[in-house]
Amino acid sequence: MIRVTRKYCFSASHRLHAPALSDARNRELYGKCNNPFGHGHNYELEVSVRGPLDVRLGRVLDIRLLDDLVRSQVLEPFEHRNLNEEVAEFRAVVPTSENLGREVIRRLKQNWEAVFPGRWPRLERVAIAETSRNRFEVLSHEID
Amino acid sequence: MLITRKVDFSASHVCRLPALSDEANRALFGAGANPRGHGHNYVLEVTVEGTPDSVTGMVMDMKFLKQILDREVVEIYDHRFLNHEIAPFDHVIPTPENIAIDIWNRLHPHLAGARARLHAVRVYETPDLYVDYFGEAA
């Protein structure tokens, strides 16, 4: 088995605010990230795929297929968007990097079979870095 | 414990199947199929697994690891046209997957000690594409 990882970038804004909590508690919990006007990041996204080598072609997958899938399902919907207001899933879910990672996995898994119909390759993980100082990794099997 | 050493090399390659036409190769491998070749600044990260020695506090001497990487990989791969100059790439396409496997095969005999064992080979073809290989068993 070999794991292939591709890095992508997108820029988007968000605001961390949990509606179930008071404004004061939100400010205390999320600090600057609770600013009502929102703020933005240059997100870095890693997508890792695992599979056996196709010996004839010397590869685990045609990386262009993964690029197209990530572009249509994640980059285009997220790029230069206000995640809270323009991505439906984040109307009710706080767009933390944890939840962003889960949503990316969900979107890729929902469309995986159409692009990769066989048993392999499989989506293994995604990693989201809001800034270069942090990274959030979600494993594919953690998400239905 | 896992310890990782990073080295780099620059090389050219072409991804194509000789039995197929230029057009078919282009459809399969895109720009990478250009028969004249193209190059990358490859980055290699090699991870060794082991237990630190109780006296030295080291899993293995990083200088020694660097020497192995230089001797077994960098001096062989650096500034070469992989398809034409490095076995097995006369008959195996030098994709990053196959490069990672070949590097594993070159390093494994030298990193199979009781204290330190080869754990992973990571090859970056470009800053936004890398592959990890953990050996045949993984």
Give the chain B residue whose CA is nearest to the CA of A49. Answer: B131
* Nearest CB neighbour to B129, from listed A2, A62, A63: A63
The shortest C-alpha distance from B129 to chain A (Å) reads 5
The count of domains in chain A is 1
Question: Backbone dihedral region of A113: left (phi > 0), alpha (psi from -120 to 50 degrees) or beta?
Answer: alpha
Mean pLDDT, range A63-67, rounded to an integer: 98
Residues in B touching A4 (Cβ below 8 Å)? 96-97, 129-131
Subunit contact B28:A60, Cβ cutoff 8 A: no
* Confidence at residue A83, expressed as pLDDT on a 0 to 100 scale: 97
CA A5 vs. chain centroid, Å, equals 14
* Confidence at residue B85, expressed as pLDDT on a 0 to 100 scale: 98
Does residue B111 belong to any structural domain of this protein?
yes
* Confidence at residue A144, expressed as pLDDT on a 0 to 100 scale: 85
Subunit contact A7:B127, Cβ cutoff 8 A: yes
Mean pLDDT, range B89-115, rounded to an integer: 96
Does residue B102 belong to any structural domain of this protein?
yes
* Confidence at residue A94, expressed as pLDDT on a 0 to 100 scale: 97
* CA atoms A74, A77, A83, A88: torsion sign: negative
* Length of chain B, in residues: 138
User: Is A20's pLDDT higher than 80?
Assistant: yes
The shortest C-alpha distance from A65 to chain B (Å) reads 11
User: Is B9's pLDDT higher than 90?
Assistant: yes
The count of domains in chain B is 1
* Confidence at residue A140, expressed as pLDDT on a 0 to 100 scale: 97
Per-residue model confidence as pLDDT tens digits over B35-58:
999 999 999 999 999 999 999 899
* Confidence at residue B30, expressed as pLDDT on a 0 to 100 scale: 95
* Confidence at residue B115, expressed as pLDDT on a 0 to 100 scale: 86
Just list the catalytic residues of A: 33, 80, 130
Residues in A touching B133 (Cβ below 8 Å)? 2-3
0.90 surpassed by pTM: yes
Does residue B12 belong to any structural domain of this protein?
yes
Subunit contact A58:B129, Cβ cutoff 8 A: no
CATH of the domain at B82: 3.30.479.10
Buried/exposed B12-48: b ≥16 CB within 10 Å, e otherwise? bbbbbeeeeeeeebbebbeebbeeebeebebbbbbbb
Residues in A touching B28 (Cβ below 8 Å)? 57, 62
For chain A, what is the mean pLDDT?
97
Range of the domain at A52: 2-142
Subunit contact A58:B98, Cβ cutoff 8 A: yes
ipTM: 0.91
Does residue B104 belong to any structural domain of this protein?
yes
Does residue B138 belong to any structural domain of this protein?
no
Range of the domain at B79: 2-133
For chain B, what is the mean pLDDT?
96
CATH of the domain at A125: 3.30.479.10
* Confidence at residue A18, expressed as pLDDT on a 0 to 100 scale: 95
Alpha-carbon Rg for chain B in angstroms: 17
* CA atoms B53, B56, B57, B61: torsion sign: negative
Mean pLDDT, range A17-46, rounded to an integer: 96
Per-residue model confidence as pLDDT tens digits over A96-140:
999 999 999 999 999 999 999 999 999 999 999 999 999 999 999
Subunit contact B30:A58, Cβ cutoff 8 A: no
Interface test with A, best of B91, B97, B98, B105 (most A CBs within 10 A): B97
Residues in B touching A58 (Cβ below 8 Å)? 15, 92-95, 97-98
User: Is B138's pLDDT higher than 90?
Assistant: no
User: Taking CB atoms and an 8 Å cut-off, how many pairs form between chains A and B?
Assistant: 49
The backbone torsions φ and ψ at residue B103, rounded to the nearest 5 degrees and listed phi first, read: -65, -40
